[in-house]
Structure 1
Amino acid sequence: MIYSPALQDHGLGHDPFKAIVTPRPIGWITAMSAKGEVNLSPYSFFNAVSTRPHIVMFSSEGKKDAVAFVEETGEFTCSLVTKALLQQMNQTSAPLPRGTSEYGHAGLEMAASTFVRPPRVAASPAALECKLLSVQQLVDLDGNTSDRWMVLGQVVGIFMDDAFIKDGRFDTVAAHPVARCGYADYAEVDHLFSIQRPPGG
């Protein structure tokens, strides 16, 4: 089958787009307002987009507190979501009143960052400390703006729990990161395999 995303003429119970673009890393974003308010929220539209320099992006459907706070202070952190933290991550997706701590709501502790003001999730085995590059409102083919906001940040600090460093590498399998799939589905990284790139000119 083929369908038009504009018409949503697929005849299925749910749009399969997110089930096809999968698995997606989860950006567990901590942002701080100019007043010092702290917001923690997960974003499944998240990924690394560059290594030189290290740049990550997350995209919000609606200008939520994370985007507004990052605009105010120009900094954020991204903590790795693991299987052990899955339920707490889900709790931080709840639409809480502004000013209510997602950290407290989910029973999580903060850990101080080194290079930015927003904290990271203390129980997470890895986190990225980022400074804002840009916030872009997304525009469609017809030039219409949408209430969708993409945040690009440069990574200025990387935290790793020493317990997850093995033979000079971050032990991804030991961390059991979780990714977002379609519908209400998630995936867990519990094994890896390697493929060598072919030689070329």
Structure 2
Amino acid sequence: MELDLTGPHRDDAYMILAGLVTPRPIALTTTVDLEGRVNAAPFSFFNVLGDSPPIVGICPGDREPGVPKDTARNIRLTQEFVVNLVDEAIAEKMNLCAASLPEGENELLHAGLTAATSTAVKPPRIAESPASLECRSHSIIEIGDNRLIIGEVLRIHVRDGIFDPETWLVKPGSYQPVGRMQSPHWYARTRDMFEMRRPK
């Protein structure tokens, strides 16, 4: 099967790619608007992109053609955001943050999540998240209807017990993120891991 994303299958690209490129980590992203109102929204078009400097990328789609979602608008205005990673313990609450709420309504309150003060940026991190990455926007790249926001990671908050402080390796069994699978409603647990050492 060959799928031409420049022709007949162009309109199906989201379903095809979102189903194949999995599992994807989830960025439960917190931002604030110019009035200080908090917004929290999950995005699975997200990943870490580099380490020198440490950067992440999120790609929030538009609310409707030409109208950016609150996350993208807030980042453009304030240059700051926090990526809160999602594990099994907060997966259901993350999903509640995806609800279409009236403008200005706080998704954290709606989902029963706790805002915690960040160190280097104004948007709060989420206390229940296993790890939160405080970010400053580095650049925003618009390609067609896509908006890729690249953020430099300034601070990381990690739940106690996840890292071995001597090696900075994650302790096996201490961190169980969920991954986004195919649309519309599928996710994956990450409990079943295997080790495969690189050849020398």
The question of a shared fold, defined as TM-score above 0.5 by the shorter chain, is answered with yes
Equivalent residue number for residue 32 of structure 2: 32
Q: Please say if 1:21 is aligned against 2:26.
A: no
Equivalent residue number for residue 51 of structure 1: 51
1:151 CA drift (Å) = 0.4
RMSD: 2.0
Farther off after superposition, 160-169 or 49-58: 160-169
Q: Please say if 1:91 is aligned against 2:108.
A: no
Please tell me the residue identity of whatever aligns with 1:188: R
Name stretches of at least 5 consecutive residues in structure 1 with no aligned partner: 139-144
Q: Secondary structure at the match of 1:129?
A: strand
Candidates 63, 71, 78, aligned match of 1:73: 78
Against the structure 1 CA distance between its residues 32 and 179, is the aligned structure 2 distance closer, same or farther, given a 3 Å change threshold? same
Distance 1:198 1:52 in 2: 25
Matched ranges for 1:85-124 at <5 A: 85-124=90-129
1:31 CA drift (Å) = 0.8
1:3 CA drift (Å) = 2.0
Distance 1:171 1:116 in 2: 28
Normalised by the length of structure 2, the TM-score is 0.88
Does the CA-based 8 Å contact 2:115-2:126 persist in structure 1?
Answer: yes
Please tell me the residue identity of whatever aligns with 1:76: F
Q: Figure out how many residues of one structure are paired with residues of the other and give that number.
A: 190
Q: C-alpha offsets along residues 116-168 of structure 1, whole Å, 9 cap, x if unaligned?
A: 11111111121101011011211xxxxxx32x211000000011111323464
Equivalent residue number for residue 127 of structure 1: 132
Equivalent residue number for residue 141 of structure 1: none
Against the structure 1 CA distance between its residues 25 and 54, is the aligned structure 2 distance closer, same or farther, given a 3 Å change threshold? same
Equivalent residue number for residue 152 of structure 1: 150
Does the CA-based 8 Å contact 2:32-2:38 persist in structure 1?
Answer: yes
Distance 1:171 1:97 in 2: 40
Normalised by the length of structure 1, the TM-score is 0.87
Runs of 4+ in 1 over 6 A off after TM superposition: none
Name stretches of at least 5 consecutive residues in structure 2 with no aligned partner: 63-67
